[in-house]
Amino acid sequence: MSLRTFSYSLKDAFRSMRRNLFTSIITVGTISIALFILSIFLLLSLNVKETIQTFGDRIHITIYLSDDLTDEDIHALIKQVTAVRETRDIRYISQDDALNELKRMLKNQDGLLDALSPNPLPRSLEIKVKREYQNAASIESLVKKLSGYKGISDIEYGDEWLNKFTTVFSFLNLVGILITGIIILATIFIVSNTIKLSIANRRDELEIMKLVGATDRFIKFPFFLEGLFQGTLGALISIGLLFTLYRVSKTWLINHRLIELSFLSLSFFPQDLIWMIILSGAVLGALGSLTALGRFLRG
CA distances from residue 114 to 117, 119, 133, 170 in whole angstroms, order as listed: 8, 10, 40, 46
The answer, yes or no, to whether residue 262 has pLDDT greater than 50, is: no
- The pLDDT-based confidence of 242 (bands split at 50, 70, 90) is very high
The domain segmentation of the chain, as residue ranges, is 3-54+165-298, 60-156
Arithmetic mean of pLDDT over the chain: 79
Q: What is the pLDDT of residue 233?
A: 92
Q: What is the pLDDT of residue 239?
A: 94
- The pLDDT-based confidence of 258 (bands split at 50, 70, 90) is low
Q: What is the pLDDT of residue 115?
A: 57
- The pLDDT-based confidence of 299 (bands split at 50, 70, 90) is low
The model's pLDDT over 135-193, given as tens digits with 9 standing for 90+, comes to 778 888 888 888 888 888 888 887 666 667 667 777 877 887 787 788 778 777 776 67
Surface-to-core class of residue 13, CB atoms within 10 Å of its CB (0-12 exposed, 13-18 middle, 19+ buried): buried
Surface-to-core class of residue 120, CB atoms within 10 Å of its CB (0-12 exposed, 13-18 middle, 19+ buried): exposed
Q: What is the pLDDT of residue 179?
A: 79
CA distances from residue 104 to 21, 38, 110 in whole angstroms, order as listed: 69, 46, 7
Q: What is the pLDDT of residue 168?
A: 74
Q: What is the pLDDT of residue 57?
A: 65
Q: What is the pLDDT of residue 16?
A: 75
Fold of 60-156: Alpha-Beta Plaits (3.30.70)
Ranges 142-146, 169-173, 195-199, 251-255, most confident: 142-146
The answer, yes or no, to whether residue 112 has pLDDT greater than 60, is: no
Distance CA 37, CA 58 (A): 32
The model's pLDDT over 200-239, given as tens digits with 9 standing for 90+, comes to 766 777 777 777 777 777 777 887 888 888 889 999 999 9
The model's pLDDT over 30-67, given as tens digits with 9 standing for 90+, comes to 888 888 888 888 888 787 777 766 666 667 888 999 98
The residue type of 150 is K
Distance CA 160, CA 163 (A): 5
Instruction: Give which of 147, 154, 127, 131 is closest to 60, Cα–Cα.
Output: 127
Q: What is the pLDDT of residue 159?
A: 62
The model's pLDDT over 273-282, given as tens digits with 9 standing for 90+, comes to 899 889 988 8
Residue that wins the pLDDT comparison between 78 and 172: 78
Q: What is the pLDDT of residue 265?
A: 59
| CB 63, CB 155: distance < 8 Å | yes
- The pLDDT-based confidence of 109 (bands split at 50, 70, 90) is low
Cis peptide preceding 118, ω within 30 of 0: yes
Q: What is the pLDDT of residue 130?
A: 85
Is the pTM here over 0.75, yes or no? Answer: no
With residues binned 3-state (H G I as helix, E B as strand, rest as coil), the percentages for the chain, rounded to 5, are 75, 10, 20
- The pLDDT-based confidence of 125 (bands split at 50, 70, 90) is very high
| CB 129, CB 58: distance < 8 Å | no
Mean of pLDDT values over 21-28: 82
